[in-house]
Structure 1
Amino acid sequence: MINLREFLPEDASALVELLNNHNVTRYLSSRMPTPYSEDDANWWISTGSKVGIVRAITLNDELIGCVGAEPGLFEGCRSAEIGYWLGEPFWGAGYASQATNALTDMIFSTTDIVRIYGTVFDPNKASMHVLEKCGFQREGIFHKACYKNGEFYDKHVFAKVQL
């Protein structure tokens, strides 16, 4: 069973190791530095992970990934965009779904956010499956909405609304 917690200084080396894997970062935002350095990890732990609602995903006290949601602004203030990643050795075991469900439940029960949405690059079928497994509904496909590393990708939008 996974746990969610704040990032800690001792997570830096695991962040560097896990995020210097192209398979992990290829469908993440270009905001993610590549290559990922110890300075990047230290900034994330001290500053970046303090923006929004961000949690380290751990398994047996070992950092295996990250899940977070960024609340919207102005008229979007009751929505948040969720995102997550796992180190490749931890794929396929249901950890991303567990983390997504846990963060979604926490947000709905402790904030005034009523809509959580996620965007997924077209080839990332595993991430789409995570959101669907967690009860998110596909709302639409934005064609050629993402451009990364010289390629266009369709962006699939999924959302879960608190009733």
Structure 2
Amino acid sequence: MSKNKVILRDFSKNDIESLVLYLNNENVTKFLTSRIPQPYSIDDANWWVNTGSKEGLTKAVDVNGKFIGSIGVTAGEFESKRSAEIGYWLEENSWGKGIASEAVIKMTEYVFSNTNIVRLYAPVFSSNKASMRVLEKCGYELEGVLRKAIFKNGIFLDEHLYAKISS
């Protein structure tokens, strides 16, 4: 785990400039959903802080008092309402320091202790080996590989589906 103090908190207006900076970095966004507008504007960041981040369970990842990323959980609907997708990203300078793993562990523990969700899952692009390692370190297991399930930036990628079940 990281030597840093990782806190999951609500987004604030102070995060807007950093959101724009981080989400205009192609290295950060290449494995993220295309729902995130590109280029990412101040208006996009304002909407996220004031509206988007209040849907579902979404938190800013804060390390030593500095906003560096996001983690969120979105519950399914109807028959899938006890299952939820977890997703996360960090700004590039924070990679490889154990911060993502610590954030995933904190969010997973929170969800399993405070909601009726019994299954968290994370779809990961086949080329995102670092995220696969994060999930494995956090006790998530590979359930399957969905071949050519992703089409982004003009290429097909397999989707690796990881999940963790509440004990």
TM-score bracket relative to the smaller structure: over 0.9
Q: Distance in 2 between matches of 1:14 and 1:26?
A: 18
Aligned Cα root-mean-square deviation (Å):
0.5
Aligned with residue 99 of structure 1, among 96, 103, 106: 103
Aligned with residue 68 of structure 2, among 64, 69, 77: 64
Shift of 1:10: 1.1
Q: Distance in 2 between matches of 1:95 and 1:58?
A: 10
Shift of 1:149: 1.1
The DSSP-based 3-state class of the residue aligned with 2:38 is coil
Alignment: residue pair count: 163
Shift of 1:107: 0.3
2:153 corresponding residue in structure 1 = 149
The yes-or-no answer on 1:19 pairing with 2:23 is yes
Aligned with residue 82 of structure 1, among 86, 96, 101: 86
Q: Distance in 2 between matches of 1:144 and 1:22?
A: 22
Code of the aligned partner of 1:159: A
Q: Distance in 1 between matches of 2:56 and 2:75?
A: 6
Shift of 1:61: 1.4
The yes-or-no answer on 1:138 pairing with 2:142 is yes
TM-score when normalising by structure 1? 0.99
User: Which segments of 5 or more consecutive residues in structure 2 lack a partner in the other structure?
Assistant: none
User: Which segments of 5 or more consecutive residues in structure 1 lack a partner in the other structure?
Assistant: none
Kindly report structure 1 stretches of 4+ aligned residues shifted beyond 3 Å: none
TM-score when normalising by structure 2? 0.97
2:125 corresponding residue in structure 1 = 121
